[in-house]
Amino acid sequence: MQTVLKYSGRAELAVLALIALVIALFLLAGPAFAGADTTFDTALTKFTDFLEGSGGKIITVLSLAGGIVALASGRFSMGQIAIPVGVGVGAGTGIPIVTSTVTATI
């Protein structure tokens, strides 16, 4: 039994369509300027202020309370101490580090 393969131009058509798409993307793409977009500045400012202020304190206190409850259950692990400390450090110093890194001019 012999298998007969029929030639189909679909592969060439797909390659030509892909090439046309790439050329269109290069020709129609506009320039992008890093740091020029201010769409989410208001939201970023509010969220950052929340985490650096009362929100960060609330998250740290809740994490500490969870660690104390876990300690009261009778099983001790270093995670019950390290996690609240990490959350507090992250809320206090992590946000300014990330914000300054993201807004840095290269």
Q: What is the DSSP letter of 73?
A: T
- List Cα–Cα distances, 6 to 3, 13, 83, in angstroms: 10, 16, 65
Work out the pLDDT band at 15, boundaries 50, 70, 90.
Answer: confident
Structure tokens at 68: 């104390």
Q: Write down the pLDDT at residue 5.
A: 52
Using one digit for the tens of pLDDT, what is the confidence trace for 69-83? 888 887 777 877 788
Domain identity same for 43 and 81: yes
Q: What value, to the nearest 5°, has the Cα angle with vertex 40 and ends 36 and 47?
A: 130
Domain identity same for 101 and 50: yes
Domain identity same for 100 and 72: yes
Structure tokens at 16: 């030509």
SS3 category, 106: coil
Using one digit for the tens of pLDDT, what is the confidence trace for 28-51? 777 666 666 677 788 888 888 888
Contact 86, 56 (CB under 8 A): no
Domain identity same for 41 and 90: yes
> Could you tell me the residue range of the domain that residue 62 belongs to?
35-105
Domain identity same for 57 and 91: yes
Query: In this structure, which amino acid lies at residue 54?
Result: S
Domain identity same for 23 and 39: no
Structure tokens at 18: 């892909």
- The pTM for the full model equals 0.49
Domain identity same for 51 and 98: yes
Domain identity same for 92 and 49: yes
Write out the H or E segment, with its range, that includes residue 64: helix 54-72
Domain identity same for 7 and 47: no
| Domain count within the chain | 2
SS3 category, 24: helix
Domain identity same for 42 and 65: yes
Per this entry, what is the length of the chain? Answer: 106
